[in-house]
Amino acid sequence: MLKVLSIDGGGIRGIIPAIFLTELEYRTKKPIHQLFNIMAGTSTGGILTLGLNKPHPQDPTQAQYKAEDLVQLYRREGQIIFPPSVWGRTGFNMFADEKYPVRGIVSVLEKYFGNALLSESLIETIITAYEIHNRDTWIFKRRRARREKRYDFKMKYVARATSAAPTYFEPARIVPEESQDIYYMIDGGLYANNPAMVAYIDVIKNYTNLAEDKCFMLSLGTGEIVKPIPYKQAKKWGLLGWAKPTIDILFSGTSHAIHNQLNIIFDTRKPNYQYHRFEVRLDEAYSDMDKASDKYLDYYTSVTKRMIIERSREIDEVCKILTA
């Protein structure tokens, strides 16, 4: 059975799938990279995907980080990535620049990924981004990085590219290991905040006889946003007023659409195809992607653990499939 893991984008709310994956590792007694054949991630989901597949310096057959280590990444480094200020800038730059300077996230990615390469990822890895110079979707793949060195990038650059959400961070300027090319990337969440469909298309394209095989997909969200946008406020917004809400709508809208599409596709191909998605509903006050205080992280931890309890039997079924 081909086993696929997909992790949504969602900023600091990436702690939600990280906690869920910690539960999987606890129940199966195996690291995540031994449970799946393919992992796909966007933005914070891309950082998780890379982190769970970064080889250990002393044993390149094993992952350096467990899921619990990445839970701690959000707790220890969250306020470095998203410093607790109004906009991270002052004066006119408050409106003219991105919300946060990149030095925080760059330092964290350097700390966790060092000089590890995409081609060294433990299993097949798929990370989404968007290249703004050529105006094209971009998908980082371990397979392609191993085949052509000009598509091999340091993991920290891939992580920076996939998480460069407009209005939050400036675009990423990255270069491959063995090429003079320069790429300018922004967050893949603009077209695939839920990268499950990207992963599914990759499966269809690269794995033969799929129609006769079994395929299992686990899709993890970073929290369903239920915060309404009041009409009386929205109708008065101009370019500035719509900037951040538009990003949030794009991210949540694509996630919902892709989930609905894949749910239909997999449902028509049962029993050989199985699809599970785990998502929590967030209270209106906790729907932001960049609030990294203990108050927010404790809330995300609480709602995730509650979901794990409520869907424990389903999680046991997932673990049984993954370890079969």
Alpha-carbon span 80 to 76, nearest angstrom = 8
Residue 248: exposed, middle, or buried by beta-carbon count in 10 A (0-12, 13-18, 19+)? middle
Alpha-carbon span 161 to 186, nearest angstrom = 6
Mean pLDDT of 251-274: 88
Question: Which residues, 6 or more positions from 196, have their beta carbon under 8 angstroms from its beta carbon?
Answer: 4, 6, 40, 217, 219, 258, 259, 262, 277
Query: What is the per-residue pLDDT across 277-318, written as a single tens digit (0 to 9) for each?
Result: 999 999 988 988 999 999 999 999 999 999 999 999 999 999
Q: What is the pLDDT of residue 90?
A: 45
Question: Which residues, 6 or more positions from 228, have their beta carbon under 8 angstroms from its beta carbon?
Answer: 284
Q: What is the pLDDT of residue 48?
A: 98
**What confidence category does residue 2 fall into, taking pLDDT thresholds of 50, 70 and 90?**
very high
**pLDDT above 70: percentage of residues in the chain:** 93
Mean pLDDT of 167-195: 92
Alpha-carbon span 55 to 61, nearest angstrom = 6
Report the mean per-residue pLDDT for the chain: 91
Alpha-carbon span 262 to 277, nearest angstrom = 10
The answer to whether residue 96 scores a pLDDT higher than 70 is: no
Q: What is the pLDDT of residue 164?
A: 95
**pLDDT above 90: percentage of residues in the chain:** 73
- Specify the pTM: 0.92
The answer to whether residue 93 scores a pLDDT higher than 60 is: no
Query: What is the per-residue pLDDT across 139-175, written as a single tens digit (0 to 9) for each?
Result: 999 999 999 999 999 999 999 999 999 889 999 999 9
Mean pLDDT of 212-240: 83
